[in-house]
A and B are shown apart, each in its own frame.
Chain A
Amino acid sequence: MAKELDPITLQVISGALETIAEEMGHVLYRMSFSSIIRESQDLGAGLFDCDFNTLCESESTPLHIGSIPGYLHGIKETLQDGEWRDGDVVIHNHPYHGSSHSPDIAIVVPAFHNGTLVGYGANTAHHLDIGAATPGLIIDIPDVYAEGMLFAGTKLYEEGKRNEALWQFIGRNSRAAPQLQADLEAQIASARLGVRRYAELLDRYGRETVETATNQLMDYTERVLRQRIAAIPDGEYRAEGFLDDDGKNRGVRLPIKVCVRVTGDDIEIDLTGSAGQVETAFNVPFEGSTKVACFCAIRSLLLDAETSEIKVPSNQGSFRPIKVTAPKGSIYNPEFPAAAEARFSQVNRVIDLIYKALAPVLPDDIIAGSSASLSFVSYSGVKPSGDYWVFLEVNEGSYGGRPQSDGPDSIDSLMANTRNNPLEDLAIHLPMICERYELRDDVMPGAGRYRGGFGVVKAQRMLTDGFITHENERHEDVPWGIFGGHEGAVGRVTIYNQNRPDEVRDMPAKFSGLKLAADDVHVFYGPCGGGYGDPLDRPAAEVLDDVLDDFCTVEHARAAYGVVVDLEAEVVDEAATEALRRDMRAGVAGTVPAPRAPQPAADPPAAAIASARPTTPQAPPTPAMPTPIEIAARLREAFGEAWSFEILGHRRNGQGVEVDGALAANGTRVRETGHANGAGSAGARLEAAADDSLRRCAEALLARHAGAPGRG
């Protein structure tokens, strides 16, 4: 091994690698034809070494970033003739051999330098249609074979020569074959460019120097991330939520359980306890999607691109400190041959719940509950010529309130980051037209010191008969508020015909292959984010601005924020506001701080909505006190899984910290303040105060429970 390189050379090579990845991504999305790639930039591209480590990766969409190593491992298992040759191009999308999901086809080109295999140029891109059971998107299908064409280690080019039979086969097995083939060509151009640039880099600096540099750069990225992880107090942090259904078995909710385990500078995301695998395509490929989502969650939280001065190279080092656990046979790690195409909402919710779990220890870093789902719509139809048209639309979400700012409105959330299609462009090229595109006005986002973001309403009208599949979530589990912030609002989907606007059909979040008639209008209402912090602490002037901007109604300003607005004069009634806020503050003690959406009482395990239970094994404030684990055991004994603990807020109190928490079970809710003083990090004190709040809540609730007749 070469001796360690100086940081200056390292920086020079790091910049060169980053430029190569950006150039690869640029060529891919500029050349491509389907809007899902060129506008939505649903793609990833980069260079990888012989051990499948990511050396560099383009800034495209997060779910692709970090997924390609899984593909490369899968190709190793399946590679046609078992050997790479110069000029080969492999096409691969098998979800049980490492792909992110089957429409994300990878193109991989080996990099040879002086006759030796030195790595790979590779990219992934989401394709419009790969010949699945229904056009574009699929949900209600029996198995992975209904997802369409599956490629595993298949050589589209052998030593520079295209396999024409395969190319023709692809051309005959997609409803959008011209786009599929043109987009594959763009992918090949991008991967070949990457390989060429990598060879130039090796020529310039020598293979040994470049490989030493790439290893050091991975170590560097890993080191930065580990420093950030080490700053989080050790412990286990949990949160739960649920998914509406699997797209077929209506009313059967699917629990999500997230445990974040921090040990020194390692972090583990454990999804044990989440739903078992489902019988539709609503499963998540483990290697290509579950893991990648967890990487994205940690990177966004700990290496925030907006607040970090340094730009950490995007490479394998950012994945190494993170372990992801999901049992085989669960929704996050399904077993062959379960279908696993519609997987986005499930993993976006994992990210959201990781932040909820960490709220007690990272209150200034996490954000309140976001839409954290995805609305992915496939509109399609058959042209007079008999050919299909297929259009994939990604609808935006919204963010939860943040420690220092409101949650952004109508924007791709968490792991989603795509561009919409200009409505004018769409209407000129497809038999569709948009009827409405603006912020929702039927609900309010979660109130808070910093409010949640607004969801969108987007109404698309079909001009001819066609089909629609909607992969969507979050019609039941409300985005959560935090530290006294109110919860947001769930999403909604309706369909009506333009000619009978009063006959509105409320739709479930997911549906597959539905026939639409001309003039049918499909309306998506995106979920709204939860609030962060107590709405009574939001300055009245900001509430007034919100009212004037129609981000808040006069009634909502009064009910949620305690602010009385004179709309005619466009001013705050200061005296009335002060009085109202005083009353609300006084009245709030010991009660639920905010009006909550009605929660169904049935179905107890899934109804356990909010649960940020700090169950750290660390020492509690005094040794005589029961540990959180002991408390949890007592609560389970009394209530099974049907209890939840929520952190409402925290504040400084002299040297100490106070945390308000609420424990709910059996329709009863108690709220207690926990205290912690003394030494240790702010995070450790917060944790201890949260534990204390849980302990006090549990004592109160268990006492009430013991006293209640006919229970226990």
Chain B
Amino acid sequence: MARVGVDVGGTNTDLVLEAAHGVFFHKVVSTPQDQSEGVLKGLVEICEIAGVKPNDIDLVVHGTTVATNITIEHNGAEVGMLTTRNFRDILHIGRHKRPHNFSLHFEVPWQNRPLVKRRNRIAVTERILPPDGRIETALAEDEVRAAIQVFKRRGLKAIVIGFMFSFLNDAHEARAKEIVRAEMPDAYVCCSSEVANVIREFERFSTAAMNAFIGPKTATYLNNLSDKLSQNGFRANLRVIQSNGGISTVETSARQAVGMLMSGPAGGVIGGRQEGLWSGNRNLITVDIGGTSADISTIPDAQVKIMNPRDSYVGGHPILIPMIDLVTIGAGGGSIAFIDSAGGFHVGPRSAGADPGPACYGRGGEEPTVTDAQLVLGRLDSDKLLGGDLPLDEAAAARAIEAKLARPLGLSVTDAALGVIRVINSNMALAIRSNSVARGVDPREFSLLPFGGAGPLHGVALAEAVAARDVVVPVAPGITAAMGLLETDMQYEHANSLIASLSTADGATARRIDEMTAQLVAACHRDLDADNVPRERRHIRKIAECRYHGQGFELRADMPEGEVTTANLSTIVDSFHRQHLLDYGYAFDDLEVELITLRVIGTEDVEPLAMARLEAANGAGVEEAFLYDKETVFDDGQRLATPRYDRGRLKLGHRVAGPAIILQHNSTTLVPPRYTAEVTDFGNLRLTRAA
């Protein structure tokens, strides 16, 4: 009985293996040409490390950027679209708002990089009318067939069908799909009502078109990986993490590829939540700091939040797929600091990336970055990054800061470096506030959880800037995302728009809500049945997405247990008012509440990683973990001889008083003066300010 999480990043593929005799970590170089090669190599190696055979592995949970990379490189399938006559250009017009207010030379992603070229968007005669979805004009099947001939002549392999009002009645989409299936049996085909069965034509079409765009390649990748695993003796179930933080089967992921688009940061948020639980913290702000960007998410009461669909975009295209609520800002170790022609001081969003990378990498980078600033401040040790795998050139870092920042500003190199850190921390703190305070969350009741290799260098400064109660450093900050893969649930979602006033609902409306909810619940059970999930491990969550009548945005409200009746509709209404109050600070108790979409999520409980409790210190001092002293500059400008400790030798109950730096293979934790790092049960570090 063993399971593996394998998370593919831009540079490294991280692996976590859990077996009865322990938890093992491993890292291999990613293989961007075909990610499955690195994945397989890593799996084979971690099995050797852990001493288990491939066929002992029951489950492989995979985080992959395959789908996301297709959108970044815009090299998906050439897609054909069948759409409603007179509405050919819904995907071209979008919401007719420009990306910038003040620009003449702006790009329009949905016009410059369309998911479906206009020549392949063919309108056919059909019409479904609101509010009941009745068919006004039957589908012209001959026109569908004629369009298919064009698609075939052009050699298209992916077809999307998007008709107006299909969320009210999917009969025409379904029929058109049948015809496509019959005439193009090998094509990847999807309907807008299957991919995102919700109101709003542009967003629904865009989501479905994106699915068709990334679907074929994503499906090929997953099937190929699946085959490679079985050829190499793995008989494990392969599962893939989704944007909403759940995991799904290869079959579902291939069919609903759009669900994987934002899965990259999802593992980190889920992993962060588990670290919080290990250390006894249910309210968390996770900050995942990478090379070019930082992902920030707020987790109240151990519940991962889902983004308002209005805000979920990928590559400039709206994607109506539930994704974990997080903000991403251009702030990371590679963020470049510069002074503009009018004397303004900036850090990021431009990044030196991995190549040439920061000046201290010695690969030709001449612009100072956040990593260079950390190095000259003595917070990174030049021979310790990635356990010494990547030696750093401190002189080069100092030269870059001197030339580009210190001299022009008349500052010392140290002060300029402190300035870089101050600005980058300020940028991140503002983003944290916009994801917390601005959304009714009080950071004073939250722990800040920094990860990514460089995260724990910023933890205390960020916690102070947003007034978080303390800082919790994960067990292995460099691979928190991979660990998250083994800590999330099998998850299926089904949704359907049902527009009805809840304030004035009668028995018939309540029955409609109840019936549709029951259908969605049944659909979830069918999925879970197909995965052989036993009934007792299933969880069904029912959500009513509502708004005040006349508003444009829905919020998620809880639904009553059991049957929906006129008597218990108030459960939804009350829950909606509460959510509105929380998100916006106001509720309008006397206004009509309108239901827009019903959503049901079926999950399978998964056992969290069985981390071993750390060995207790039992009176042994922290000296055993002491490595050496080195001068380090702290945010207040103090330059102090600062001891380094080996995190691997710290034991439960150890308290490391700041100033200190705690080193581990892929991460460095900064403990400023007046702070103490305490080692908790499972090896987390809790950093608190001395009273």
Contacts and interface: CB of A to CB of B under 8 A. Distances in A.
Most buried by A among B111, B129, B344: B344
Interface stretch (A470-478, A546-554, A648-656): A546-554
Nearest to A19: B430
A300 B100 CA distance: 9
Nearest to B201: A424
A33 B167 CA distance: 24
A227 interface: yes
B291 to A, nearest CB: 19
A418 B96 contact: yes
A310 B584 contact: no
B612 interface: no
Interface string B199-222: 111110000000000000000000
A192 to B, nearest CB: 10
Contacts of A438: 86-90, 93
B98 A428 contact: no
B195 to A, nearest CB: 16
Contacts of A193: 585
A450 to B, nearest CB: 11
Contact of A304 (B96, B104, B550): B104
A417 B98 CA distance: 6
Interface residues of A, number: 86
Contact of B105 (A11, A26, A223, A306): A306
B107 A306 contact: yes
Interface in B530-576: 548, 550-553
A427 interface: yes
B104 A300 contact: yes
Interface in B337-363: 339-347, 350
Interface string A1-24: 000001110111001101100110
A126 B342 CA distance: 36
B345 A179 contact: no
A576 interface: no
Given A189-B586, A410-B92, A305 B103 contact: yes
A424 B164 contact: yes
B423 A419 contact: no
Given A11-B345, A189-B586, A404 B87 contact: no
A422 B201 contact: yes
Contacts of B628: none
B104 A411 contact: no
Nearest to B87: A437
Contacts of B101: 59-62, 65, 300, 305, 417
A677 B519 CA distance: 78
Given A305-B106, A438-B88, A31 B199 contact: no
A527 B340 CA distance: 39
B199 A412 contact: no
A306 B93 contact: no
Contacts of A62: 101-102
Nearest to B410: A6
A65 B100 CA distance: 13
Given A23-B434, A424-B164, A8 B342 contact: no
B526 interface: no
Interface stretch (A34-42, A233-241, A269-277, A556-564): A34-42
A41 B552 CA distance: 11
B345 A8 contact: yes
A15 B201 contact: no
A149 interface: no
B102 A305 contact: yes
B200 A425 contact: yes
A38 B202 CA distance: 17
A81 interface: no
Contacts of A34: 550
A640 B25 CA distance: 85
Contacts of B105: 304, 306-307, 367, 402-405
A436 B202 CA distance: 14
A105 to B, nearest CB: 18
B427 interface: yes
B585 to A, nearest CB: 7
A456 interface: yes
B118 A306 contact: no
Interface in B72-95: 86-90, 92-93, 95
Contacts of B551: 31-33, 38
A424 B97 contact: no
Contacts of A223: 342-343
Contact of A12 (B104, B129, B423, B438): B423
B86 A435 contact: yes
B605 to A, nearest CB: 34
Contacts of B469: none
A422 B411 CA distance: 54
A10 B345 contact: yes
Contacts of A300: 101-104
B45 to A, nearest CB: 43
Nearest to A7: B345
Nearest to B416: A8
Nearest to A308: B103
Contacts of B422: 8, 12
A424 B200 contact: yes
Interface in B143-178: 164-165, 167
A437 B93 contact: yes
Contacts of A428: 130-131, 199, 499
Interface string A298-323: 01110111110110000000000000
A110 interface: no
A224 B106 contact: no
A541 interface: no
Contacts of A285: none
A310 B411 CA distance: 22
Most buried by A among B95, B100, B164, B350: B95
Contacts of B423: 8, 11-12
Contacts of A425: 199-200, 552
A680 B440 CA distance: 58
Contacts of A8: 345, 419, 422-423
Contacts of B164: 423-424
B582 interface: no
Given A7-B339, A23-B438, A424-B164, A409 B552 contact: no
Interface string A646-687: 000000000000000000000000000000000000000000
Interface in A38-72: 38-39, 41, 59-62, 65
B688 interface: no
Interface string A205-220: 0000000000000001
Contact of A305 (B100, B344, B583): B100
Given A224-B341, A299-B102, A418-B97, 10 more contacts: A12-B426, A33-B548, A38-B552, A306-B103, A307-B103, A404-B105, A410-B92, A411-B111, A420-B97, A425-B200
30 contacts: A6-B409, A6-B411, A6-B419, A7-B344, A30-B584, A31-B551, A32-B551, A33-B548, A35-B552, A38-B551, A39-B552, A223-B343, A300-B102, A303-B102, A305-B100, A307-B105, A366-B104, A411-B93, A411-B108, A411-B111, A417-B101, A419-B97, A420-B95, A422-B200, A422-B202, A433-B130, A435-B86, A439-B92, A439-B93, A549-B117
Interface of A: 6-8, 10-12, 15-16, 18-19, 22-23, 26-27, 30-35, 38-39, 41, 59-62, 65, 178-179, 182, 185, 189, 193, 220, 223-224, 227, 296, 299-301, 303-307, 309-310, 355, 365-367, 396, 402-405, 408-412, 417-420, 422-425, 427-429, 433, 435-439, 456, 459, 548-551
Interface of B: 86-90, 92-93, 95-108, 111-112, 117-119, 129-131, 164-165, 167, 199-203, 339-347, 350, 409, 411, 419, 422-423, 426-427, 430, 433-434, 438, 499, 548, 550-553, 583-586, 588, 591
A-B pairs, top 10 by smallest CB distance, nearest first, are A7-B345, A8-B419, A305-B100, A549-B118, A396-B96, A438-B89, A436-B86, A38-B552, A422-B200, A33-B550
